[in-house]
A and B are shown apart, each in its own frame.
Chain A
Amino acid sequence: MEVEKKFLEIVMDIFRANPETLTDDTKFIDDLHAKSIDTIALIAATENTFGIRVPSQDARKNQTIGQAIEYIKKKLSEKA
């Protein structure tokens, strides 16, 4: 739950999104209208919050919030 909560907080802040509208299926580009700078800021905040490296080619494969959360959890378990 902690990963979900922290990541949703980052998404809310960067995209000025209403938390009630965010679901696992929310798409960064189609639904949140992410521009390049938003994606780079999202990668930066994710890396520093969770202490993981997110190569930009990996980030671009994660098109939804649910996919991104799964990716972060996988990276954290590899780290542990």
Chain B
Amino acid sequence: MVIKDILRRAEGLQKRIIFPEGSDKRIIKAAKLTAENNTIIPILVGDERIIGQKANELGVKLDNFEIIEPSTSSKLEQYVSLYSELSKIPERTSKQIIQQSIFYSAMALKSSYADGMIGGLVYTSGDFIAVCNGVIGLRKEIKVPSSFFIMEIPSHEGGENGFLLYADASVNPNPTAEELADIAISTGHSAKMLLGWEPRVAMLSFSTKGSADHPDVTKVVDAVKLAHKKAKDMKIGGEFQADTALVLSTAKRKIKADDIGDVAGRANILIFPDLDAGNIAYKLTQILAKANAYGPILQGFAKPLSDLSRGATVEDIVGVIAIVSVIADRWDA
């Protein structure tokens, strides 16, 4: 349901989305489907001959596509020079590196030739994130990339009409307090940009407002303080146990009335203290609450982009294209 809404909102946006794995048939099909309703203007990067051959096999006409072969691109020298300056790698070797689709695409996104980038069918998530981090960089004041899941929970009436965002459930195994604060802020921004929500971010722990004393609790308490300092206007609360974050009557029992704030019992974003907790929670929610989980969606980068799982279907890719297009459209909002 949430994906249907995002697909509808993405129609007509005409975002220039660049695909480093342009010769993959799933990419060509998904790009065609989303170009037809004007969600995107696809930019496929790769060997022109192979892309043409694959499109032909699929019966796809590439009339409204832009195809770029890095080695013959008119932008090659410009990107080589920019990359050399950024990486401090001399131009002779930068030229060899930039001819690789993923580096070329990242440079095209960095220099705003494209509005967004989607890749990861061939590259591992770790490699894809490393290139995006190294070339495109992170949003101002954000020091770590992360990811979130959109959870659609039929039996839950709270959150945002039954929806919650969970983070981080796939990138950072054991974030520091500073990284946890960044994950909270990034997820708040993502909720605003993608879903138009007013974020109410709960930083989760096994303790509520000092009910337990442990270094793991201190980490979350410190993260809440840092997040407040960095994002003064964002509603961020904690440290909370999950029931305190989600159930108002429980929050009222556990927290003094003058300290309850806007987040306790009303959270629409849950920030887990580490990857164990985040990953276990999203899978348990899926199985026990029959929830739909959409993601992981990358966040924290200086430009709109997303990773794909290597087993992604055309339908999955269409969903990710819509998500990146909507985020790209609201990027400056």
Q: DSSP class of A's interface residues: helix, strand, loop or mixed?
A: helix
A60: shortest Cβ distance to chain B, in Å? Answer: 11
Instruction: Say which size band chain A's interface belongs to.
Output: 10 to 19
Which residues of chain B have C-beta atoms less than 8 A from A49's C-beta?
A: 96
Docked Cα-Cα span, A36 to B99, in Å, equals 18
A-B contact count (CB 8 A): 46
Q: Choose among A35, A40, A44, A56 the residue that contacts B99 (Cβ–Cβ < 8 A).
A: A44
B3 within 8 A of A: no
Q: Is the CB of B88 closer than 8 A to any CB of chain A? A: yes
Q: For residue A45, which residues in chain B have a CB less than 8 angstroms away from its CB?
A: 93, 96-97
In the bound complex, CA of A41 to CA of B87 (Å) = 10
| A40 and B89 in contact, given A45-B96, A48-B96, A56-B124 (Cβ under 8 angstroms) | no
Do A13 and B133 contact each other (CB < 8 Å), given the known contacts A40-B127, A41-B87, A48-B99?
A: no
A14 close to B130 (CB less than 8 A): no
Task: Decide if A44 touches B127 in the complex (CB within 8 Å).
Answer: no
User: Is A1 located at the chain interface by the 8 A CB criterion?
Assistant: no
- The answer to the question of B154 belonging to the interface, with a C-beta cut-off of 8 Å to chain A, is no
Give B128-169 as 1s and 0s: 1 = Cβ < 8 Å from A's Cβ atoms. Answer: 001101100000000000000000000000000000000000
Asked whether A9 is an interface residue with its Cβ less than 8 Å from the other chain, the reply is yes
Q: Is the CB of A13 within 8 A of B126?
A: no
Interface size class of B (residues with CB under 8 A): 20 to 34
Of B88, B90, B96, B130, which is within 8 A of A44 by CB? B96
- Shortest Cβ distance from A10 into B: residue: B93
A16 contacts partner chain B, Cβ-Cβ < 8 Å: yes
Kindly supply a per-residue 1/0 record for chain B positions 83-106, scoring 1 wherever the CB is within 8 Å of any chain A CB and 0 otherwise: 000011110110011011011000
Smallest CB gap from B88: residue in A:
A16
Provide the bound-state CA to CA distance between A13 and B95, in Å: 12
A interface residues, Cβ below 8 angstroms from B: 9-10, 13-14, 16, 35-37, 40-41, 44-45, 47-49, 56
Q: A37-B131, A48-B96 are in contact. List 11 more A-B contacts (CB 8 A).
A: A10-B93, A16-B88, A35-B130, A37-B133, A41-B103, A44-B97, A44-B99, A44-B100, A45-B97, A48-B97, A56-B124
